[in-house]
Amino acid sequence: MRLSTGLISACFWFKLEGFIILRSSTKKYLVKRKANVLHRFLKCSYHVIFNRPVRWDLNVRIMNWVALESKNIGLQNYARMQCIKRTSTVRISGKVNKPIPKIVFRYGKHDGQIQKFLETRKFVLNFLKQHMRGIINMQS
């Protein structure tokens, strides 16, 4: 089962109204034997934002339901760690070696939590852009 299919099912099952998927980072891997490259592959990390606000206990149920439906061991381990840490995070801005998360898939309504997330993200990115300009101007 593809992840987006599992998310669409969860969207209906939990009445989440809609969602967006953001690609937060991509790592490149090489499988080598001596000096020869045998295989190259990419590993991407994603965030999902649902349109309807949910309590933590429902969020945990959704994460684990999607992880089990996807049959993705990495996603299942991620969901377990979120339960252990008792928190979920979404990165809005870029990191040292990581770009700003990009929207790669949209589904359903976007007038609730998704709209709030996108507005907050825009505010934070504009603030960071202006702040960085100020620092550069001060150094000049």
Q: What is the pLDDT of residues 9-50, one digit of tens each?
A: 888 999 999 999 888 877 788 788 888 877 887 777 788 889
Residues 48 and 104 sit within 8 Å (Cβ to Cβ): no
Examine the pLDDT at 137 and tell me if it is beyond 90: no
Examine the pLDDT at 62 and tell me if it is beyond 50: yes
* Residue 50 identity: F
The predicted model gives 66-79 an average pLDDT of 84
User: How many domains, in total, are found in the chain?
Assistant: 1
Residue-wise DSSP of the chain: --HHHHHHHHHHHTT--EEEEEEEEEEEEEEEETTEEEEEEEEEEEEEEESS---HHHHHHHHHHHHHHHT-HHHHHHHHHHHHHT------S--SS-PPPEEEEEEE--SSHHHHHHHHHHHHHHHHHHHHHHHHHHH-
* pLDDT one-digit tens code per residue, 95-125: 667 778 888 889 999 999 999 999 998 998 8
Q: What percent of the chain has pLDDT over 70?
A: 88
Q: Which domain holds residue 16?
A: 3-139
Examine the pLDDT at 85 and tell me if it is beyond 70: yes
Regarding beta strands 18-33 and 102-108, do their DSSP bridges make them parallel or antiparallel, or are they unpaired? antiparallel
